[in-house]
Structure 1
Amino acid sequence: MDGREEITDSPDAWVARHIRRYVETSGRARPGMNDLLLTTRGRKSGKLRRTALLHVRDGDRYVLVASNRGADRHPAWYLNLTANPDVTLQVGPKTFPATARTATPDERPRLWALVVAAMPSYQDYQEATDREIPVVVVDRARREQP
């Protein structure tokens, strides 16, 4: 993701409007909310795709939830990052490369409790579907040594 490629925002009109407000306000579109922008590479198209998500912090890591509002299928952004874990995050005014992965079975219970404490509706989403909602851990990409 070199910054010169065109980025396609979410096809969901509400999310696309939120992304525009987020970019225009350097992340202050919804004060008090832990929003970020996640850019993935489309697993089929190869194009850059951007969505807005809530997150919690776990130390230096960002934790995301692939809830898809309790739908019976994973969100496209999650499928994209499982195919290519190199992503870009925008948190407030800062944009940086990162690497995403699904939390391990050992990590998931603690991280799930962390995100449900921050946003109890995730538990409602889990109860609405038979799939286990993935928890995603995102770390800043390490800079390569010269």
Structure 2
Amino acid sequence: MPQSFNDQVIEEFRANNGRVGGPFAGARLILLTTTGRRSGRPHTTPVGYLPDGGERILVIASAGGAPRHPAWYHNLLAEPEVQVEDGVFVFRARAQELTGAERDEAFARAAEADPGWAEYQAKTDRVIPVVALVEVAAGPPVINSPSFADGLKVVHDGFRRELATIRAEIAAAGPELGAQLRMNCLTVCQGLRNHHQGEDQGLFPYLGTQHPELRAVMDRLEREHESIAELVEALRKLVAERDAEPTALLAEFDRLTRELERHLTYEEEQLIPVLAAAGG
């Protein structure tokens, strides 16, 4: 039996750590696995998402403006606990439908960033739902990789991909920064902060204990974390300014990206061979 379109996208997504071609090329995409409200079986669907800070992401049940809500939306109403794959991590989340002013504000943000959402709403009489997916804490994050060495590269490439997407959004912005673009910037800033804190508290102390010869490497990486944290904070403050201009933001964003890329490349050169040799 030939593969369905969704099955093809799912296979490509999993094989390429979240990168797909065709109509979803360059889009922010997750695989959302819900429990069928009638069958009780898991159902996985590729769904576009919006960053919404460090604690949750948003999905919109547009169904392309169809007259009925998509099946995945009905499933998560019946069973709010879902699985999310973002190409880097696999995690459990709890679905929370937004209502009232919170829903309207989130949908307006989405439509400002991509008018296609407003076009979908105009095609249907139903109010298109917006759902927050809030990660359920369940131990260390599960990285979509066969080894820790490979996982480090997968995480780094996830940041590279998101930074490239945001840069394109800033470059295409008009004279003002949209609310969703600001949120995208703030979310990746929080993600970088969390990632580096995790390395400082876990990976680096572990490697420093197991490999004393890497002390100089660890010292350099920790210093670079401090420098990058300063750049992240400068970017965060700029994004928070009401009259922030895209040209100023782009310059600050490029400064951060250059420093981060140097850091990531050095970290990969120094640590991946050590992790791979240890079978990690």
Which band: TM-score by shorter chain? 0.7 to 0.9
The residue that corresponds to 1:58 in the other structure is 52
Task: Report if the CA contact (8 A) 1:56-1:114 is conserved.
Answer: no
**Between Structure 1 and Structure 2, which shows a larger proportion of strand residues?**
1
Write the distance in 2 (CA, Å) between the matches of 1:29 and 1:69. 19
Runs of 4+ with >3 A deviation: none
The residue that corresponds to 1:40 in the other structure is 34
Which is worse superposed, 23-32 or 71-80?
A: 23-32
Which residue identity is paired with 2:91? Answer: F
Residues 42-81 of structure 1 deviation map (CA, whole Å, 9 limit, x = unaligned): 0000000000011111102110000011111000000000
Query: Relative contact order, CA 8 A, sep 6+: which one is greater?
Result: 1
1:67-106 to structure 2, matched below 5 A, reads 67-106=62-101
Write the distance in 2 (CA, Å) between the matches of 1:32 and 1:50. 20
Which residue identity is paired with 1:17? Answer: Q
Task: Please report how far the alpha carbon of residue 121 of structure 1 lies from its aligned counterpart in structure 2 after TM superposition.
Answer: 0.9
Gap regions ≥5 residues in structure 1: 1-11
Residues 98-127 of structure 1 deviation map (CA, whole Å, 9 limit, x = unaligned): 001211213111110122133221111100
Q: SS of the residue aligned with 1:23?
A: helix
**Between Structure 1 and Structure 2, which shows a larger proportion of helix residues?**
2
Write the distance in 1 (CA, Å) between the matches of 2:118 and 2:6. 21
Gap regions ≥5 residues in structure 2: 140-280
Write the distance in 2 (CA, Å) between the matches of 1:38 and 1:96. 10
Distance 1:69 1:100, change over 3 A: same
Write the distance in 2 (CA, Å) between the matches of 1:92 and 1:104. 29
Task: Report if the CA contact (8 A) 1:71-1:128 is conserved.
Answer: yes
Q: SS of the residue aligned with 1:107?
A: helix
Write the distance in 1 (CA, Å) between the matches of 2:57 and 2:113. 13
RMSD: 1.5
Please give the TM-score of this superposition, normalised by the length of structure 1: 0.85
Q: SS of the residue aligned with 2:134?
A: strand
Q: SS of the residue aligned with 2:9?
A: helix
Which residue identity is paired with 1:96? Answer: F
Tell whether 2:12 aligns with 1:21: yes
Q: SS of the residue aligned with 2:100?
A: coil
Which residue identity is paired with 2:119? Answer: D
Task: Please report how far the alpha carbon of residue 94 of structure 1 lies from its aligned counterpart in structure 2 after TM superposition.
Answer: 1.0
Write the distance in 1 (CA, Å) between the matches of 2:4 and 2:102. 34
Structure number, greater radius of gyration: 2
Q: How many pairs does the alignment contain?
A: 133
Write the distance in 2 (CA, Å) between the matches of 1:21 and 1:107. 34
